[in-house]
Amino acid sequence: MPFTPAHPALILPVLRAGQRRLSATALVLGAMAPDFEYFLRLRPDGIYGHTWAGIFWLDLPLVLLFAGLFHNLVKVPLVQCLPTVLRSRLLPLTAGRWPARRLISGPVLLGALLGCLSHIVWDWFTHDDGLVVLHWAWLRHTLPGFGPSWPLYQFLQYVSTFIGLGSILWYVLQLPKRPTPPLPPTRTRFTFWLATGAVLLLLWGPFMIYSAQIWPFDANSVLVTGMSAGLVGLLVAAGVLRRRLAPVPTS
């Protein structure tokens, strides 16, 4: 599968063109949402998230849940602890909390659905059971010199992942740098990442053990369980240090 965080690359043009009509948060989370099932199951095995029905009863509710957690808990502590080159561009975008009524607004719901659709379309070209891969036999041909385990669609997985991640980084670095409040104390920022890492390490092992009982132990399962543990770590660290990492207004 293409690396989940690379999927928002496909909606970057929409993010620019529709920034006043669609929710950027919903577009980004929606572009990753069909893979959220993996992190709930603790294994790279999705049954519902990539189906048309699953988009509405699973992916969309998860987008709304994670959007609420991100805006009301995670975003400020996380951005406050990023390197300055990212903090100066992203912190001005973190103002304001999201009330529950905003989660069910048109821009959020439409953005989430469009993001989910972009994910499904990308996977059509890069999964062995993707709609395009099943209909275009040449995508299943192996590349010369790569052996039988490297069909073209799998090669596209890796290439599109790197292009996607690079595009997202480029997009963020193109955002204007703006004046920001003073940095939080180094000790507080260090504690945030220490707490995140500690929870990750505490949970990663048990998550992998659980996953290995159901799914073959491979690189994908290690990655999925690690990301799941890391997300829990971010939630814990943000919840504990949210007040200490709140921006200090400048006089």
The DSSP annotation for 11-54 comes to: GHHHHHHTTTTS-HHHHHHHHHGGGHHHHHHTSS--SSTTSHHH
User: Over its length of 251 residues, how does the chain's per-residue pLDDT go in tens digits?
Assistant: 558 999 999 999 988 765 668 999 999 999 999 999 999 999 999 899 999 999 999 999 999 999 999 999 999 999 999 999 999 999 999 988 898 899 999 999 999 999 999 999 999 999 989 999 999 999 988 877 766 678 999 999 999 999 999 999 999 999 999 999 999 999 999 999 999 999 999 999 999 999 999 998 899 999 999 999 999 999 999 999 999 999 876 65
The token pair that represents 197 in the structure block = 């890492």
Confidence (pTM) = 0.94
Q: Domain locations in the chain?
A: 4-181
151/129 Cα distance (integer angstroms): 13
> Which pLDDT does position 19 carry in this prediction?
64
> Which pLDDT does position 165 carry in this prediction?
97
For 118, 119, 149, 152, the CA distances from 135, given in Å and listed in that order, are 19, 19, 20, 14
CB 19 within 8 A of CB 105: no
